[in-house]
Amino acid sequence: MFEIPAVHAAMFVGAVGALVPMWRAHGTDCRVQIAHGAMALSMVAMMIPGVPAGIHLLEGAVLIGLAVFVTGETMHRRTAIPCAVDLTAMGVLLLLAPMSATTPAASAASAPTPSGHHHGGAGISTGWLPLVVLVCWALSTLYLFRSTPRRERRSGVKTAAAGSALMILGMAPMAA
C-alpha cells in the first residue's frame, strides 16, 4: 500500500501497538487476543508492496466483523470496548483507503474547468474523511481511558490505551 520507509516505520509501530495489549492479556478473553492479532496482521499486510486494494477492503470488513465479535463477550468490558473501537476505526480506515487514494485519471476527471465547477463526480471530496476517523479514534481512546476511575486503571487499561495510541500513529499515513 505504501512504499516510503518512514511510513513503513509508522506501520511497524502500529503493528507493535496492536500486540502491546496481548503482553498483559492474563485476564483478557481470547476474543480480544484474536482481534489484536488480526490488527497486527493487517498492519503488516499494509507494509507488503504490490498487495491489491481488494485485500485491504477485505481486511477492513474482517476487522469490523471482529469488532462485533469482540463486543459479544460481556465479562471483560474494560478491554472489549477499547478493542472494538480500535477494530472499527482501523476497519473504516482500510475501507476508505482505496477511495482516498487518487489516481491520475480520477484527478484529471474531477479537475475544475475554467468556469470553476467540477466534473466527474458529486463534487464531494472524501479526502478529509480518513482524517476525521483518525481524530475520532484518538478522542474515543482518550475518553475511554479518562472515563475509567483511577482506582480501576490497572495496567491492562493503561496498556490498552498505549497500544491504541501506537496503532493510531501507525494508521496516520492512511489519513495523509
| Percent over 90 (pLDDT), the chain | 28
Q: How would you classify residue 50: left for phi > 0, otherwise alpha for psi between -120 and 50, otherwise beta?
A: left
Range of the domain at 82: 5-100+125-175
**Grid cell at residue 173:** 499515513
- Please write the tens of the pLDDT for every residue from 37-82: 999 999 998 888 888 888 889 999 999 999 998 887 566 677 788 8
Query: Residue 115: inside a domain, yes or no?
Result: no
Query: Residue 10: inside a domain, yes or no?
Result: yes
The reported pTM is 0.78
Query: Residue 31: inside a domain, yes or no?
Result: yes
Name the helix (H) or strand (E) containing 167.
helix 155-175
Query: Residue 108: inside a domain, yes or no?
Result: no
Report whether pLDDT(11) > 70. Answer: yes
What domain count does the chain have? 1
